[in-house]
């Protein structure tokens, strides 16, 4: 089942962005290649077990995030739009429900602006987790930068 990208308003989005020291193709590869993605996805201390990573529109990304203290968090996602090397979008089929829109724009030679948007159906759903994830998304970007430094 392929889904359209959700239309949102600013109060139903969580947006994190960062300019990374990597060419656009490398930045995209860190998200599109499960051998890189599993190394950095999630906040500090988290590890991942990828059960399926079918990187195509309609493909499934099924994985478990293992928390540093306790807890395993099942994630079931479906890729809904991919434009190499500029965009990756997926829909979560596990709670909490939202879509992700990751965009990549080369801003200078060897530098890429990565924008990570979490799109919710309502402002209320967004507000429930916004207070928890804003700092965690920054940690995720910190981990992405470490992975990119290893890819160079």
> What pLDDT is stored for residue 2 in this prediction?
54
Euclidean distance between CA atoms 61 and 150, whole angstroms? 24
Euclidean distance between CA atoms 15 and 100, whole angstroms? 10
| Domain chopping of the chain, boundaries | 11-44+83-151
> What pLDDT is stored for residue 143 in this prediction?
98
> What pLDDT is stored for residue 6 in this prediction?
75
Task: Please give the chain's pLDDT, 152 residues, in tens.
Answer: 556 787 778 899 999 999 999 999 999 999 999 999 999 999 999 999 999 999 999 999 999 999 998 899 999 999 999 999 999 999 999 999 999 999 999 999 999 999 999 999 999 999 999 999 999 999 999 999 999 999 97
> What pLDDT is stored for residue 9 in this prediction?
82
> What pLDDT is stored for residue 144 in this prediction?
98
CATH topology of domain 11-44+83-151: Alpha-D-Glucose-1,6-Bisphosphate; Chain A, domain 4 (3.30.530)
Burial pattern 29-38, b for ≥16 Cβ within 10 A else e, equals bbbbebebbb
Q: Under the phi-then-psi rule, with left for phi > 0, alpha for psi from -120 to 50, and beta for the rest, what region is 78?
A: beta
> What pLDDT is stored for residue 3 in this prediction?
67
């Amino acid at each position: 089942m392929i889904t359209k990208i959700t239309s949102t308003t600013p109060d139903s989005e969580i947006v994190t962005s960062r300019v990374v020291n990597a060419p656009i193709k490398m930045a995209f590869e860190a998200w599109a290649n499960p051998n890189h993605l599993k190394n950095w996805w999630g906040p500090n201390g988290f590890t991942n077990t990828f059960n399926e990573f079918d990187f195509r529109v309609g493909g499934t990304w099924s994985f478990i995030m293992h928390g540093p203290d306790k807890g395993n968090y099942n994630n079931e996602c479906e890729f809904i739009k991919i434009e190499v090397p500029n965009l990756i979008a997926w829909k979560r089929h596990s709670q909490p429900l939202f879509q992700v829109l990751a965009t990549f724009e080369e801003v200078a030679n060897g530098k890429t602006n990565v924008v990570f948007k979490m799109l919710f159906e309502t402002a209320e759903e967004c507000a429930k987790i916004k207070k928890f994830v804003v700092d965690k998304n920054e940690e995720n970007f910190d981990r992405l930068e470490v992975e990119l430094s290893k890819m160079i």
